[in-house]
Amino acid sequence: DLASKLIDNLPKAELHLHIEGTLEPEMMLRLAKRNKISLPYKDVEDVRKAYEFDCLQDFLDLYYLGMSVLLTEQDFFDLTWAYLERVHQDGLTHVELFFDPQAHTDRGVSFETVLGGLTSALEQAQREMGISSKLIMCFLRHLPEEQAFDALECACKHKEHIFGVGLDSSEKGFPPPLFERVFAKAREEGFVPVAHLGEEGTAENVREGLDLLKVERVDHGNHALDDPALTQRLAEAQTPLTMCPISNWRLKGIPTLAHSPVKKAMDAGLLVTVNSDDPSYFGGYLNDNYRAVYEHLPLVEKDLVTLAQNSFKASFLSDQEKQIQL
């Protein structure tokens, strides 16, 4: 229908996307074979059947298992290229993508192998599809801060390719104060800070992310809305929130898509964006997430245009680059 065509045709940026979360079952099995890695799945259907999650941790367990097939620079290239080709059809023109180096260096894959594959795909996408991009390196919050410092040291050797630092993985039990020092160092080195906050964690986590980590954007931020003073603060500062409706639903953060906080956040004057998070695991790419909020929330077509415009406003493109995209 009309709204669906509008969604397909609107230029959009994606600001909350874990590249390892785009690994489709077909590619997972192909790479497992290529790299002689054994997986507990016998076919594609078997993989898809396993994707039933009761919480963030259920998903993370399979997410880390799945990415164990990624070994070579070519693997990381193939993964990234497949995502970019897919979302090019969605009208995506800019992406700020997360990667989790510690999940790879922990398995003996070098930081340079990961980064090399990602950047060559991103550069080819700029040349051949006109897609611009920025890379955000995430620290895994379930691992010690010391290992985050190791990742940061690697990133410092590749500043021309890495724009920002983020914080992801298990939120419960691993609050922002644990990463205050490594974020301070990252900011000192010129990396722009963001963090997953208020996905399963509380409004207090979001506040700590702002005050202690000094994040410039909040990933998810759902639970910020539980706190009116914090909501007002985010609205006044126009701190962007990168929300992920289908992810929230699949991880049971919300019981149905009608409970997505996207509309409530828009109404509160927040700079909200819609994103896919880990599209292969949650069964929806960028436009599927736009469709989900349009179908399940009281949104009109103009709100879709606002969300697409917000995706550029909330991006880390320069003001001049934003002007061109908007």
How far apart, in Å, are the Cα atoms of 199 and each of 145, 160, 190, 207, 324? Answer: 21, 30, 26, 13, 32
Does 168 bind ligand ADE (CB under 6 A)? Our answer is: yes
Tell me, yes or no, if 199 is annotated catalytic. yes
Which x/- pattern over 207-246 shows residues binding ligand ADE (rule: CB under 6 A)? ----------------------------------------
Q: Which two tokens stand for residue 135?
A: 């890379």
DSSP 242-258: EE-HHHHHHTTSSSSGG
Backbone φ and ψ of 97, nearest 5°: -110, 145
Would you count residue 200 as binding Zn ion (CB under 5 A)?
Answer: no
The token pair at 151 is 């990742």
| 199 binding ligand ADE? (CB under 6 A) | yes
Of the listed pieces 25-33, 231-239, 272-280, 288-296, which binds Zn ion according to CB under 5 A?
272-280
Nearest to 12 by CA among 302, 307, 321, 247: 307
Q: State yes or no: 259 annotated in a binding site.
A: no
Is the distance from CB of 21 to CB of 279 less than 8 angstroms? yes
Task: Please tell me whether residue 311 binds ligand ADE under the rule CB under 6 A.
Answer: no
CA angle 60, 82, 273 (to 5 degrees): 60
- Amino acid identity, residue 162? I
Q: Which residue is nearest to Zn ion (CB)?
A: 277
| Binding-residue pattern over the window 245 to 264 for ligand ADE, x denoting contact by CB under 6 A | --x-----------------
When asked if residue 96 is in the footprint of ligand ADE (CB under 6 A), the reply is no
What residues from 271 to 300 belong to the interface with ligand ADE (CB under 6 A)?
Answer: 277-278
* 18 is known to lie in a ligand binding site: yes
Number of residues that bind Zn ion (CB under 5 A): 1
Among residues 20, 96, 199, 208, the one annotated as catalytic is 199
Task: Report d(CA 326, CA 89) in Å as an integer.
Answer: 19
Shortest distance, CB of residue 244 to Zn ion, whole angstroms?
A: 6
CB 164 within 8 A of CB 173: no
Residue number, 14 or 168, with CB nearest to ligand ADE: 168
Where on the chain is the footprint of ligand ADE (CB under 6 A)?
A: 18, 21, 56, 63, 168-169, 196, 199, 247, 277-278
